[in-house]
Structure formats: C-alpha cells, structure tokens
Amino acid sequence: MEEKVVTLQGLQVNYTIEGSGPNLLILHGWGRGSEPYAQIQKDIANKGFCVVVPDLPGFGKSAYPQTVWGVEEYVNFILRFADGLGLKSFFLMGHSFGGQVALKFAVEHADSVKGLILCAAAVIRRKPDFKKRVIRFVSNVGSMVFSFWPFSMFSDIAGRAFYRLLGSGDWRYSQGIMKYVRQKVVRHDLSALAPQVTVPTLIVWGDQDQATPVKDAYTLKDKISGSSLRVISGVGHRLYVEAPDVFVESIVQFLRVQTL
C-alpha cells in the first residue's frame, strides 16, 4: 500500500492506493479517515482492483477545510481529487457519511461512475427526536460554558465524557470547524435524490445497525431503480470491520459483474 499526499483547493490531502486493475474509490464515514478501511482496501486490491481511499478534508491526515463544508463541497472535492489522479471512470463506494457524498456525486457526475456501492449510507437524515434535541441543547450550552476560563481547561475532558455517556466517539472528530461541518451535513437529507441514480448500484447493510437503521436500506432499494441489496446478519454500522469477509465478497462480486 502506498501513502501519498496531493494538494487540492489549497489543502494537503492524504490518500492511500493499492493494487492494479479497475479503479475503486472509497469514501470513508465520519471518523478516523482511511485508516479503518486499510484491511478491506488490501483484500479488494488482492482480487484485481486498484483501490484508492482518501482522507477527506478534516479527517485522518488531511488538512481541515478552511470554511464550513457541506455535502456539496465534498462532492466538488471528490471531482477535483479524481481529476487530479487521472481517474476518468471508476467505481465509487461510500460508507455512512461517505455514502451520502457518494450518492450525490453519482447523480451529478454519472458519466464518471461505473458503479455505486452504498454501505450503511447516511442518505436519509430525519429530523431529530425529543431526545436528540435535548442532547443538542445540552451540548451547545456545555460548549458555551466551557469556552470561558477556567472551565476551558477542562473542555476536552468534559466533551469526551459527554460523548462517552452517549455511546458516541464523534466528539474527537467534531472539534473546531468540523463541529459546524457535521451540523451542516447531518441536516442534509438526500432521499429525494435516490430515484435519480442511474448507475448500477449495490446497497450493503448490517441488520443490527443502530446509526443508520436497516429500514433505510430497503427504502433506498425501492427508490434506486435496478439496485441490489445485501443485508449482512448480526452486524452493525461498521460492517466492514465486523464481517470483513462477507463484506469484501459482496463488493468484489458486484465489481466483477460490472466489469464483464
């Protein structure tokens, strides 16, 4: 696996590339960037594909965006990234937040996408329920309180404890400008775009997913004409970690069918 850096839109962007053959571009979910996808990148590459996984701006080793980005800005970034690497036609896979970006990209730039793979894709963004509104209120009040000295000395500890109490690791990836990027992203529902997908599409989901419920997979299956669905039993949101063999098998089978 090669790790490289490219400068795009004034930002240093880290990415990994492995293998040779038809190109597969993987867009990671909200979190550590490309690192958690290293094993499936290697496994898919070993099946005869060139797999590229960038750290999207604001994640991993890539620079933070200089303004508050939303899905549209990330779509534009992927267009420039693919052009910069000379990827004229490629398969596109997105997990969670990356799936949100991937779907919009596939609709707007269908000529570049040979096939779309949506993995637990956060395409359907519902209005927050009462519990989530309370959590958001507490989070905003806490952010304000801990912005003042001497409470500011404990802001990181307080944020870690708050998100641990909620069972979420998002706190460490939602600091500074990325907090506002996340707020913008989670408010952007793309379900109305799904019927506009015209490229071959595979939907992969875990039936125990608590972050993006499996009912969303069936909704997308109904909305995307000709799409196929693979639900993996007994796994949650990080299905590429929880069931890597089944996950890779599903992806490779789809890729091979599309390259015949």
Beta-ladder partners of 52: 17, 25
- Three-state DSSP class for 42? helix
CB 125 within 8 A of CB 190: yes
* 185 in Cβ contact with 100 (< 8 Å): yes
- 160: number of Cβ within 10 Å: 13
What strands, in cross-sheet order, belong to the sheet with 113-119? 2-8, 11-18, 50-54, 23-27, 90-95, 113-119, 201-206, 228-232
What is the CA angle 18-24-28, rounded to 5?
Answer: 90
Q: What is the set of domains in the chain, with CATH numbers? A: 2-125+189-258 (3.40.50.1820), 130-182 (no CATH)
pLDDT tens per residue, range 154-204: 555 655 555 545 444 454 556 789 999 999 999 999 999 999 999 999 999
Q: Is the pLDDT of residue 73 over 90?
A: yes
Residue-wise pLDDT for 234-250, tens only, equals 999 999 999 999 999 99
Among 14-18, 90-94, 130-134, 145-149, the range scoring the smallest mean pLDDT is 130-134
Q: Which two tokens stand for residue 112?
A: 């570049």
Give the model confidence (pLDDT) of 131-160 as tens digits: 444 445 455 555 565 566 666 665 556 555
